[in-house]
């Protein structure tokens, strides 16, 4: 299961960086958060996954698709967080809906490895994200 998810990300590693930053959104979010998406990328590169996640969480909740994608990737690969298909699906769906094309591609791969019950739970988490203050 993890192998399929890893394969979905492998092509991006070959052709470009998987962890994304968004300069326009970073500039907008700078005043709202203590840490930017770009700073999160630097923490990630240093394998400081916990700090990277903290940098991305707030901007992701404010709609930054790069941060949303990065969080989804962490859950899909179990980097700094426990491997969790439902959280990966949740964040990848949110990033996809925010216009992140690589999230749409990765979402297909993640969904193939989920049961209908897991998808239903993930969809429930997505609804809560949008209705309960993006948590």
Token output for 29: 């979010």
Token pair 């993890």 is at which residue?
2
What global pTM score does this model have? 0.75
How much is the pLDDT for 102?
96
What span, in angstroms and rounded, lies between the C-alpha atoms of 31 and 103? 26
Measured between alpha carbons, how far is residue 9 from residues 19, 55, 110, 130 in Å?
10, 22, 11, 26
CB 125 within 8 A of CB 119: no
Token output for 25: 């959104």
What string of pLDDT tens digits covers the 135 residues of the chain?
A: 454 444 344 334 322 345 555 544 444 444 444 789 999 999 999 999 999 999 999 899 999 999 999 999 999 999 999 999 999 999 999 999 999 999 999 999 999 999 999 999 999 999 999 998 655
């Amino acid at each position: 299961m993890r192998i399929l998810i890893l394969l979905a990300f492998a092509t991006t590693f070959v052709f470009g960086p998987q962890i994304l930053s968004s300069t326009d959104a970073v500039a907008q979010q700078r005043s709202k958060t203590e840490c930017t998406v770009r700073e999160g990328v630097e923490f990630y590169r240093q394998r400081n996954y916990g700090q990277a996640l903290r940098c991305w969480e707030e901007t992701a909740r404010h709609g930054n698709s790069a941060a949303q994608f990065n969080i989804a990737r962490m859950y899909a690969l179990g980097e700094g967080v426990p491997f969790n298909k439902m959280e990966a699906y949740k964040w990848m769906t949110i990033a996809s809906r925010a216009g992140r094309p690589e999230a749409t591609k990765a979402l297909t791969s993640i969904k193939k490895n989920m049961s209908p019950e897991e998808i239903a739970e993930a969809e429930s988490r997505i609804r809560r994200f949008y209705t309960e203050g993006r948590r």
